[in-house]
Amino acid sequence: MPAVRGDGMRGLAVFISDIRNCKSKEAEIKRINKELANIRSKFKGDKTLDGYQKKKYVCKLLFIFLLGHDIDFGHMEAVNLLSSNKYSEKQIGYLFISVLVNTNSELIKLIIQSIKNDLASRNPIHVNLALQCIANIGSREMAEAFGNDIPKLLVSGDTMDVVKQSAALCLLRLFRTSQEIIPGGEWTSRIIHLLNDQHMGVVTAATSLIDALVKKNPEEYKGCVSLAVSRLSRIVTASYTDLQDYTYYFVPAPWLSVKLLRLLQNYTPPAEDPGVRGRLTECLETILNKAQEPPKSKKVQHSNAKNAVLFEAISLIIHNDSEANLLVRACNQLGQFLSNRETNLRYLALESMCHLATSEFSHEAVKKHQEVVILSMKMEKDVSVRQRAVDLLYAMCDKSNAEEIVQEMLNYLETADYSIREEMVLKVAILAEKYATDYTWYVDVILNLIRIAGDYVSEEVWYRVIQIVINRDEVQGYAAKTVFEALQAPACHENMVKVGGYILGEFGNLIAGDQRSSPAVQFQLLHSKYHLCSPMTRALLLSTYVKFINLFPEIRTQVQEVFKQHSNLRSADAELQQRASEYLQLSIIASSDVLATVLEEMPAFPERESSILAVLKKKKPGRLPENEIKETKSPVVTNNHANNDNHNASSTASADLLGLSTPTQPSSANAGGLLDVLGDVYGNKSNNSLSSALPPNVSNFKKFVCKNNGVLFENDLIQIGVKSEFRQNLGRLGLFYGNKTNVPLQSFVPNLLWSEEQSSKLIIQMKHVEPVLEAGAQRQQTINAECIDDYTDTPSIGLSFLYNNMPQKITFKLPLNDKQILRTN
Amino acid sequence: MMQFMLLFSRQGKLRLQKWYVAHPDKLKKKITRELITTILARKPKMCSFLEWRDLKIVYKRYASLYFCCAIEQDDNELLTLEVIHRYVELLDKYFGSVCELDIIFNFEKAYFILDELLLGGEIQETSKKIVLKAIAAQDLLQEEETPQGFLMIMA
């Protein structure tokens, strides 16, 4: 047993030894249970325990907890220890509380008084113990209880430095839970001026606090910029002997330097005053220069501390993005790290260069390192470093190097780690699309992707290639020829069958002139894969086949034979069965004119941002390097509109790219992954045919299946909101009609559409409403419903009114789905 | 800001855990298990940083112990390695060439030292001298007030 320092607790040491000597998990648990029983009896016993014993048992509980066992008692004993006049007992009490007590515990109320007492103590060690405890718990209650005391402690002239440090960080912690606790006004300048404090420890702690305050209120704390620059300037020009104990392995105050550099990244530009800006540039240059000096020590600590400052300085340079000279220098220095023997440095350099690649000043400089980065992608032993290399290649890619980079990524993909394949596939797909000057190249790349990494090619990727082929006449023949060739491989990925099936169904005719790819050959080739495919792909192929009937009447009988097969016509899969029988009937009944109309080539897709990009963004929020150079307008629209754009839902019914989902049934809106993939939302299917001819109507009936309040219907004239509540078989709705126009709506009559027969199952009563709805006014109508028996339909309201003497009619469903009433029944 | 620090052995036993954000115990256990497995599976020459959820993990092995910190996107990885190193230096100075056993048997001291170095997930005091002085002052307070320490050992 090693020597125990301070005042040792022998019982604790014995217990720990016992645990360590346990041969098995069971033995350990047995020993722990024995100890817990012992402690419990001691705490419950009649004999009052002295402080030492309490401390010892609380400490044992803490140890048991840290072993991973739950502790459900002892909290009160720990709380008692807080008020002990012995420091060692108090300290253990605080430790127990900070390790075991959750922020929302009832206990917090009990300890606040003890903390208050210690905070007011004359002994700085006690004050710090209290501050540490507040910071460790950091709850809202703590913020309320101490929000006044701590700022005072922080700026008061007679607070000792060690206490100031703790107070700054304690305040920071509380600020993170309750932003309102920081007093404004004169406090602001006093807090900022902590940056001038004599004591480096105080400055370091205060800088963390100020950084958080600035993030919330940059204007108010603007004064910190010039102070931070001066402080930084003094540090970077100091020799390592100047700062004594704050020099870390020959690097002057690395922690404070990094914090100051971080603080300055909150402002753009970092400083308005040209003098301050000039001084900052000098600092940054000095840091870059110093990084190039020969190392003062061979220790990794020296290199880490020095480079930590360098990387933070480069971050600031990138953030400012204005000094071309600094950016290029930064890039060159990082370039040296790419072949450093420290893996950590290579990793960070790759990461940092990703950001440099997005600046117009340093983009070209980054490109010079392409060869090394490609090597990193191929040769690094650590997958996380390879991942960084891939990120950087993605970020540095532009028109000039796209073909080469995409080719290298494709080559690497064959052996790439499984963990990064999917992301790489997305990246290759995006780059190929973005920088394609020749779409035949794009088609080749995507088909290669499917061949090399078919499993990792997500739906978005192959949807996208189809969208592009359909929208671009010039590439259709080439695409048809290429997929035809690709499908001839003895084993090809199902995704290839999907793309091939779709493209041949649309453009197979373009290659049918060649005997080697005659209609019959195309059909047989596709059908040879049919039995190996999943139902979804088969469904797609059936659509291709029916399209073949239109394109190539000469193989109609062959195709019909396939539809007629038992495995299709009587397929257990309802979708396949339906397609087979409907397509069969269509091919028998319809004249060739009708066929030609029904099975016409797909219309062009609306131009939109690649949904692949959205997937990539979703995959790695926060850290994804952009393949965009800042300040240059990119042709790609940001993806926000894709998600919000439910007004267009009807115009993009083409979102159902492959005809596999059935959007007419409301329930399918969430069921088919296909819909989500394309980023569109079905919003206004249910009532379009009934509503007035006025532009965009949105009826949100479906969302009320699981929601009680919201907007039920809206167009340019009127908004109808609903509030509903349900109790057992009773429902009450409040409908709110809002007139959005600046004229009154006359003859305003809502009529219930609910038959007598249906009313026997669900009784609905509607209050009368006034026949005029004034401009801008809102009126409420209450509806009561009582469910007597199961009912199937949904009651609707037919609303008619006159707008500028033009009759208008709107029909909308009431959110009285049987599920809602039954749900609460 | 550092979100948490974990110390664990090569056998995957957790020796110290410090959380600077509030999580339910269950989640803490899950996170701990996940990270211990991930880090123990890594090879020696690999990079000391990894991405994990939306955080960055920085870890380093000292003899039989792994020190592992979770920091946020804005934080500096290299300097976090040096926070770990400074902590190891402090433990080493305090215990006199520290080993895993010291931390097991004096876990409370390991916590007290950490609380002087970091507070609320931010660096509080980087000077080794000042931290050691603060710890020595605490020990002194204890010795003054607990003459029975000696008697207990005899008992």
Closest-CA distance of chain B to residue A765, Å: 49
Residue whose token pair is 């005809």? A659
Q: A728-785: per-residue pLDDT in tens? A: 778 888 888 888 888 888 888 888 888 888 888 888 888 888 888 888 888 888 888 8
Least confident window among A346-355, A641-650, B49-58? A641-650
- Are A204 and B123 in contact (CB < 8 Å)? yes
Average pLDDT over residues A639-649: 38
Angstrom distance (rounded) from CA A386 to CA A367: 17
Name the burial class of residue A344, with classes exposed (0-12), middle (13-18) and buried (19+) by CB atoms within 10 angstroms of its CB: buried
Identify any residues that bridge with A786 across adjacent strands, giving them in sequence order. Answer: A730, A763
Q: What is the pLDDT of residue A696?
A: 47
- What residues are paired with A709 via a beta bridge? A723
List Cβ neighbours of A797 (8 Å cut-off, separation of 6 or more): A735, A750, A751, A752, A753, A811, A812, A814
Among A68, A208, A347, select the one facing B122 at the smallest CB separation: A208
CA distance A119 to chain B (A): 16
Convert the pLDDT of each residue in A31-86 to its tens digit. Answer: 999 999 999 998 988 778 888 889 999 999 999 998 888 888 888 889 999 988 88
Nearest to B152 among A10, A204, A304 (CB): A10
Give B88-97's long-range contacts (Cβ < 8 A, gap of 24+).
B88/B62, B89/B128, B90/B117, B90/B128, B90/B131, B90/B132, B90/B135, B93/B128, B93/B132, B94/A5, B94/B132, B94/B135, B95/A2, B95/A5
Mean pLDDT of A372-377: 93
User: In degrees to the nearest 10, what's the CA dihedral of A144, A147, A148, A151?
Assistant: 180
* Residue A217 predicted with pLDDT over 70: yes
Tokens 């059908």, located at residue: A527
Q: Are A254 and A262 in contact (CB under 8 A)?
A: no
Q: Report pLDDT for A127.
A: 93
In chain A, the largest separation of any two C-alpha atoms, in whole Å, equals 102
User: What's the whole-number average pLDDT of chain A?
Assistant: 84
Contact B73 A622 (CB under 8 A): yes
Q: A192 falls in which pLDDT band (50, 70, 90)? A: very high
Contact predicate A116/A145, CB 8 Å? yes
Task: Kindly indicate the confidence band of residue A700, based on its pLDDT and cuts at 50, 70 and 90.
Answer: low
The residues with which B129 forms a beta bridge, in sequence order, are none
CB distance A169–B120 less than 8 Å?
yes
The answer to whether residue A487 scores a pLDDT higher than 70 is yes
Minimum-distance CB partner of A162 among B48, B95, B134: B134
Cα(B36)–Cα(A772) distance, integer angstroms:
70
According to DSSP, residue A634 is labeled P
pLDDT of residue A698: 55
Give the residue among A550, A546, A545, A654 at the shortest CA–CA distance from A594: A550
CB A395 within 8 A of CB A402: no
Closest-approach residue (CA) in chain B for A14: B105
- Which residues of chain B neighbour A173 with C-beta distances below 8 Å? 119-121
User: Which of A193 and A655 is assigned the larger pLDDT?
Assistant: A193
Are residues B106 and A5, on separate chains, in Cβ contact within 8 Å? yes
Residue A725: CA count within 13 A, CB half-sphere: 2
Q: If we measure between CA atoms, which residue out of A380, A601, A322 comes closest to residue A480?
A: A601
The pLDDT > 90 percentage for chain B reads 79
Output the six-digit token pair for A803.
């707008």
Return the pLDDT at A791: 78
Tell me, what's the pLDDT at A108?
Answer: 83
Question: Which residues of A does the annotation place in the binding site?
Answer: 10-11, 42, 52, 56-60
What average pLDDT does this structure show over A134-157?
A: 88
Q: What is the rounded end-to-end Cα distance, in angstroms, of chain A?
A: 66
Residue type, A247: T
Low-confidence residues of chain B, pLDDT below 50?
148-155
Predicted ipTM of the assembly: 0.93
Confidence of residue A705 (pLDDT cuts 50, 70, 90): low
Nearest CB to A135: which of B120, B134, B153? B120
- pLDDT above 70 (res A658): no
- Between B124, B146, B149, which is nearest A165 by CB? B124
Per mean pLDDT, which of A319-323, A346-350, A549-553 is the most reliable?
A346-350
User: How far A128 CA lies from chain B's nearest CA (Å)?
Assistant: 9
The pLDDT-based confidence of A665 (bands split at 50, 70, 90) is very low
Cβ <8 Å between B48 and A381: no
Q: For residue A63, which residues of chain B lie inside 8 Å, CB to CB?
A: 107
pLDDT interval class at A4 (50, 70, 90):
very low
Q: With 70 as the cut, is the pLDDT of residue A642 above it?
A: no
Q: Is there a contact between B35 and B52 (Cβ–Cβ < 8 Å)? A: yes
Whether B138 sits inside 8 A of A87 (CB atoms) is yes
Gap from A28 CA to chain B (nearest CA, Å) = 14
Measure B65 CA to nearest chain A CA, in Å: 16
Tens of pLDDT along A613-627?
777 777 665 455 577
Average pLDDT over residues A563-585: 89
What is the pLDDT at residue A332?
Answer: 94
Q: Provide the angle, in degrees to the nearest 10, between the axes of the packed helices A343-357 and B77-95.
A: 150
- Are residues B82 and A7, on separate chains, in Cβ contact within 8 Å? no
Q: State the Cα–Cα distance between residues A36 and A57, nearest whole angstrom.
A: 9
Q: pLDDT tens for residues A706-729?
A: 567 778 888 888 888 888 887 777
Percent of chain A with pLDDT over 70: 87
* Identity of the amino acid at A688: N
Q: What is the pLDDT of residues A243-274, one digit of tens each?
A: 888 999 999 999 999 999 999 999 987 778 88
- Cα-flanking dihedrals φ and ψ of residue A729, to 5°? -95, 15
Q: pLDDT tens, B71-82? A: 999 999 999 999
As a whole number of angstroms, the distance between CA A678 and CA A611 comes to 6
User: For the residues of A251-295, what is the DSSP string, one character each?
Assistant: EE-HHHHHHHHHHHTTSSSS-SSHHHHHHHHHHHHHHHHHHHSPP
Task: Give the separation between CA A297 and CA A249, rounded to whole angstroms.
Answer: 8
From B17, B109, B149, residue closest to A66, measured CB to CB: B17
Q: Please, is A602 exposed, middle or buried when counting C-beta atoms within 10 Å of its C-beta (0-12, 13-18, 19+)? A: middle
Contacts of B17 in chain A (CB under 8 A): 66
Q: Is the Cβ–Cβ distance between A324 and A361 less than 8 Å? A: yes
Query: What is the pLDDT, as a whole number, of residue A241?
Result: 78
Contacts of A379 in chain B (CB under 8 A): none
pTM of the model: 0.75
| Closest alpha carbon within chain A to B59 | A344
Q: Cis omega before residue A535 (within 30°)? A: no
How do residues B50-68 score in pLDDT, each as one tens digit? 999 899 999 999 999 999 9
pLDDT at A525: 94
| pLDDT of amino acid A148 | 87
Distance CA A541, CA A531 (A): 11
